[in-house]
Amino acid sequence: MKAANTPARVLIVCMGNICRSPTAEAVLRHALAKSNLSIEVDSAGTEDYHIGNPPDPRSIRHAQKRGYDLSSLRARQVSTADFQEFDLILAADSNNLSALRRRCPAGLQHKLALFLESEPLPDPYYGEAGGFERVLDLVEERSTRLV
């Protein structure tokens, strides 16, 4: 079931598509399923560093502790078609939002926003375990509000 003004397809974007965006994809997908909402969720990266690779093992491990399975996800880069095919494209931070704005056709810019609305989703890649837990906390909170 989908309300008339609810997006049918949501894309979440970070830089490499191995930490933040796959985590957000899995968490939002889970929240939507629990609410019986049929909305497709995908993730991608603005860069091509990790195409075809699974999420960072730390992302997989921390998500798994909370009941989310990231193991089947594979990194991909945002494509030109994504701007047409997705109704809402949510960037992890302002750098990725800027990269999306540069690539997005002028008539589709309205689809772009920050995942956390007014603040960046911190990148845990170079940090410790606490960073991955913080990302999960923020993503769970935002996913609940989105649903």
Sign of CA dihedral 45, 50, 54, 59: negative
Q: What single letter denotes the amino acid at residue 129? A: A
H/E stretch holding 85: helix 80-85
Cα 35 from Cα 122, distance rounded (Å): 27
**Predicted TM-score of the model (pTM):** 0.93
Instruction: Using DSSP, state whether 143 is helix, strand or coil.
Output: helix
pLDDT per residue as tens digits for the range 4-39: 566 799 999 999 999 999 999 999 999 999 999 999
Question: Annotated catalytic, 19?
Answer: no
| Of 14, 76, 82, 142, catalytic | 14
Question: Annotated catalytic, 123?
Answer: yes
Domain annotation for the chain: domains and CATH numbers: 13-146 (3.40.50.2300)
| Of 20, 29, 76, 142, catalytic | 20
Instruction: Using DSSP, state whether 11 is helix, strand or coil.
Output: strand
| Of 56, 82, 93, 123, catalytic | 123
Beta bridge partner(s), residue 12: 43, 90
Question: Annotated catalytic, 14?
Answer: yes
pLDDT tier for residue 127 given thresholds of 50, 70 and 90: confident
